[in-house]
């Protein structure tokens, strides 16, 4: 999508520090971190959110999440982490390209929000 900032980041049109990249996704640092470690897992393919995701995109997203199991050391998430994907107004989604927040590096609140 032409005017989507996460399409531009995921496809290298806007430069960013990528902690991980493969054919399906990138992992970058969130510009406004809410925890000591706060990454965004961004699929390269544009779709808005979990509700709009196709079955094929769901399979790719599952593979992306599974990949995290090999990245915990280099991301500094050995002691655990939380993954969150906001959807829509009540979820406070601000960027309309599906992304998964990965939060860790400290003991997080036992409340979700
Ligand atoms: P959400 O509110 O769930 O849609 O999350 C969007 C996230 O993207 C927010 O946490 C922002 O801080 C983050 N963000 C927006 N623009 C950038 C950017 N250029 N680089 C890194 N993170 C960004
Ligand atoms: Zn996009």
Mean pLDDT for 15-30 is 96
Q: Which of 17, 28, 32 to probe ligand 1 with, by most ligand atoms within 8 A of CB?
A: 32
Domains in the chain (CATH in brackets) are 5-104 (3.30.428.10)
Mean per-residue pLDDT, 12-21: 94
- Name 55's Cβ contacts closer than 8 Å, sequence gap at least 6: none
For the whole prediction, is pTM greater than 0.85? yes
Residues 6+ apart with CB under 8 A from 91: none
Average pLDDT, the chain: 96
**22 — pLDDT class (breaks 50, 70, 90):** very high
* Ligand 1 near 90 CB (within 6 A): no
Tell me the HSE value of 67 on the side-chain side, using a 13 A CA sphere.
Answer: 19
Contact (CB, 8 A) for 64 and 25: yes
Check whether 90 has a pLDDT greater than 90. yes
Query: How much is the pLDDT for 35?
Result: 97
Q: Which ligand 1 atom minimizes the distance to the CA of 86? A: 3
Mean pLDDT value across residues 21-40: 97
């Amino acid at each position: 999508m032409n005017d989507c900032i996460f399409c531009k980041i995921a496809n290298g049109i806007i430069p960013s520090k990528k902690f991980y990249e493969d054919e399906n996704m990138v992992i970058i640092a969130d510009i406004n971190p809410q925890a000591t470690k706060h990454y965004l897992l961004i699929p390269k393919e544009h779709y808005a959110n979990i509700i709009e995701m196709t079955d094929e995109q769901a399979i790719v997203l599952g593979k992306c999440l599974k990949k995290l199991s090999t990245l915990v050391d280099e991301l500094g998430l050995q002691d655990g982490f939380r993954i969150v994907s906001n959807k829509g107004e009540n979820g406070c989604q601000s960027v309309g390209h599906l992304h998964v927040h990965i939060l860790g590096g400290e003991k997080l609140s036992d409340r979700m929000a």
